């Protein structure tokens, strides 16, 4: 893993450097962390996938980076969130408004409800250009039309003044991507952009993101629970569980050598056409609620490999001796010289 300098600056190869991010919510008179000490670095032009079950903290990590956690309900703390020489963890709301939609953009999870139903799609795409680039209404509209063509909206010129309800789910998702890319951001946060879309449209959206990433050179954080998508799109993968990153590795390495028991279980649970559905593997137990997190490993109660130490003492994310770019949060797997690996055919 790349070394980070002590002066608080992100190395030049990093588009984003997140250090010690914790996001907590006030429940029953106490603060409870939903994202717990998350650290990762996103390289320039890289796609990093955040994967895990629903509720593991993937979307909240992205919302925290963007400064979108409501201040009356939650609080975000971090050692640093470094972007373009700025620490977003200490940025004012005015500064964050400059960054959002310009330097860092986000495609939100639900295309059917994320667009404003009373504004035309042309207005919604051009709004960011007028705000961040100071373009006139006419110039912003011309640029927005070009972007809608770029994301392959059919007959974009004739549909420029249509409203969201006149578009299908897949077309709305393309509009969301056009809005996010309008100002050519350095980083795109894509929060499950293929959720609720059929498999044909999913494939089209993924190919569109790949193509746009090649054309613009942006880096991307792709949030999903679909490991098949991860295998297609990502360069590296960070697996999250109960608000923590439990494993991070290059995508080929993670699929060939899943090391954390949770990662291993996730890969086992992928349906396969060459197996009977009666054999579908499920992970026993449930994710603990944020109000009742166990003191040691958060996955210990569901883990077949747990040690006594796992339930009492929390492990830090540590690189494997034979693969320094592959880090895992597991006492058994980091201490074994020859871990008992279960290689999963993805």
110 — pLDDT class (breaks 50, 70, 90): confident
- Residues 331, 341 contacting (CB under 8 angstroms): no
Q: What is the model's pLDDT at position 250?
A: 97
| Domains of the chain listed by start with CATH number | 12-92+223-272+279-306+332-346 (3.40.50.300)
Q: Say yes or no to pLDDT of 3 above 80.
A: no
Cα diameter, the chain = 67
Lowest mean pLDDT among 124-128, 279-283, 302-306: 279-283
Percent of the chain's residues with pLDDT above 70: 91
Q: Say yes or no to pLDDT of 342 above 60.
A: no
Q: What is the model's pLDDT at position 340?
A: 45
- CA neighbours within 13 Å on the CB side: how many for 55? 5
Pairing mode, if any, of strands 14-27 and 187-191? unpaired
10 — pLDDT class (breaks 50, 70, 90): low
Which has the closest alpha carbon to 25: 58, 89, 70? Answer: 70
Q: What is the model's pLDDT at position 341?
A: 44
The string of pLDDT tens digits covering residues 158-196 is 999 999 999 998 899 899 999 998 998 999 999 988 776
- Residues 61, 190 contacting (CB under 8 angstroms): no
Lowest mean pLDDT among 1-10, 20-29, 214-223, 311-320: 1-10
Which has the closest alpha carbon to 263: 86, 98, 35, 56? Answer: 56
Q: What is the model's pLDDT at position 66?
A: 96
Which has the closest alpha carbon to 118: 157, 153, 165, 158? Answer: 165
Classify burial at 338, counting beta carbons within 10 Å of its beta carbon; exposed 0-12, middle 13-18, buried 19 or more: exposed
Residue with structure tokens 């320039």? 44
Write down the mean pLDDT value for the chain. Answer: 88
The string of pLDDT tens digits covering residues 247-292 is 999 999 999 999 999 999 999 888 766 666 667 788 888 889 999 9
Which has the closest alpha carbon to 19: 298, 253, 245, 290? Answer: 245
The Cα 300–Cα 282 span in angstroms is 16
Q: What is the model's pLDDT at position 338?
A: 39
The string of pLDDT tens digits covering residues 25-45 is 999 899 999 999 999 999 999
The Cα 79–Cα 19 span in angstroms is 5
337 — pLDDT class (breaks 50, 70, 90): very low
The string of pLDDT tens digits covering residues 240-259 is 999 999 999 999 999 999 99
Q: What is the model's pLDDT at position 274?
A: 67
Q: Say yes or no to pLDDT of 298 above 70.
A: yes
Classify burial at 250, counting beta carbons within 10 Å of its beta carbon; exposed 0-12, middle 13-18, buried 19 or more: middle
Q: Say yes or no to pLDDT of 238 above 80.
A: yes
Residue range 108-115: average pLDDT? 80
Which has the closest alpha carbon to 344: 262, 221, 248, 243? Answer: 262
Please give the helix or strand (H or E) that residue 200 lies within, else none: helix 199-216
Classify burial at 278, counting beta carbons within 10 Å of its beta carbon; exposed 0-12, middle 13-18, buried 19 or more: exposed
Q: What is the model's pLDDT at position 114?
A: 83
Q: What is the model's pLDDT at position 309?
A: 92
């Amino acid at each position: 893993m790349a070394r980070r300098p002590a002066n608080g600056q992100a190395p030049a190869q990093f588009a984003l450097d997140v250090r010690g991010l914790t996001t907590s919510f006030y429940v029953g008179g106490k603060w409870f962390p939903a994202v717990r000490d998350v650290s990762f670095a996103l390289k320039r032009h890289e796609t990093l996938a955040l994967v895990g079950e629903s509720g593991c903290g993937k979307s909240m990590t992205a919302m925290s980076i963007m400064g979108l956690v409501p201040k009356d309900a939650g609080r975000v703390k971090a050692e640093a969130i470094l972007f373009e020489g700025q620490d977003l963890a200490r940025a004012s709301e005015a500064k964050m408004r400059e960054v959002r939609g310009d330097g860092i953009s986000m495609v939100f999870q639900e295309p059917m409800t994320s667009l404003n139903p009373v504004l035309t799609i042309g207005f919604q795409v051009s709004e960011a250009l007028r705000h961040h680039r100071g373009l006139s209404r006419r110039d912003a509209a011309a640029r927005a039309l070009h972007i809608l063509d770029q994301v392959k909206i059919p007959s974009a010129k004739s549909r420029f003044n249509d409203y969201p309800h006149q578009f299908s789910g897949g077309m709305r998702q393309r509009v969301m991507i056009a809005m996010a890319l309008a100002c050519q951001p350095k980083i795109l946060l894509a929060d499950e952009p293929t959720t609720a879309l059929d498999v044909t449209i999913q494939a089209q959206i993924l190919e569109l993101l790949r193509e746009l990433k090649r054309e613009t050179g942006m880096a991307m954080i792709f949030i999903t629970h679909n490991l098949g998508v991860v295998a297609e799109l990502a360069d590296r993968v960070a697996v999250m569980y109960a608000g923590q990153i439990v494993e991070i590795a290059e995508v080929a390495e993670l699929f060939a050598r899943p090391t954390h028991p949770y990662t291993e279980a996730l890969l086992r649970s992928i349906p396969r056409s060459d197996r009977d559905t009666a054999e579908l593997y499920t992970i026993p137990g449930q994710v603990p609620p944020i109000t009742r997190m166990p003191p040691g490993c958060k996955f210990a109660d569901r883990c077949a490999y747990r040690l006594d130490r796992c339930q009492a003492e929390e492990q830090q994310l540590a690189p494997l001796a034979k693969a320094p770019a592959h880090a895992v949060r597991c006492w058994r797997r980091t201490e074994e010289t020859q871990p008992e690996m279960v290689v999963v055919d993805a």
